[in-house]
Copies of this chain bind each other. A is one copy, B any other.
């Protein structure tokens, strides 16, 4: 799917730079509103107040509260990906890359604690977006590890089950050490898990 389109799924795509900035304001305000009040209590007029835009401006981009929520889940999913991706390159091997990715993710969760509230609530509000977020995360990890397998860095039979196991680990470590309580340095937490992964997936 075209990235520019998928970034604004559920939203009409702005054609101008000014439009893109306005959409960004609305999505950030929606993250704050849904993160703080949850989907059911959140309101479109509260989102526009937070964003400092007129109610009519909201409807230029979105038809409903459901539409902005769907766009927000997609947006947060891509924010995570974009935050983690640069940390993956330049690492020693496929396992080190996953370790750097987890460390970056825990840091992201600490800075964006609302992400769990929003993506987890998608399980109830927008099941399709919830599944897409996790399936695409799994797909990226499996692809990276299979490339590592081709280079002889990890076992050859990397499959979906490994991908789901690793995503589950990362999600729960981000919840526990990113959102609930920031005890422990992200690099140490990621290091502990990465040592397990390195021995566990060795060729």
Residues on A lying within 8 angstroms of B by beta carbon are: 38, 40, 116-117, 120-121, 123-124, 131, 134, 159, 161-162, 164-173, 176-177, 180, 184, 189, 192-193, 195-202
Contact = CB atoms under 8 A, between A and B. Distances in A.
Contact of A162 (B38, B162, B196, B199): B196
A-B residue pairs, 3 tightest by C-beta: A168-B172, A200-B200, A196-B200
Given A170-B168, A192-B162, A193-B161, A180 B131 contact: yes
Copies of this chain, complex-wide, total 2
Given A40-B40, A166-B169, A167-B172, 20 more contacts: A116-B123, A120-B123, A121-B124, A134-B172, A161-B173, A161-B177, A161-B189, A164-B172, A164-B176, A165-B172, A165-B193, A168-B169, A168-B172, A169-B169, A171-B172, A195-B200, A196-B201, A197-B200, A199-B199, A199-B200
Given A40-B40, A131-B180, A196 B124 contact: no
Contact of A192 (B124, B159, B172, B189): B159
B165 A196 contact: yes
A24 B147 CA distance: 51
Nearest to A124: B38
Contacts of A121: 124
Contacts of A162: 192-193, 196
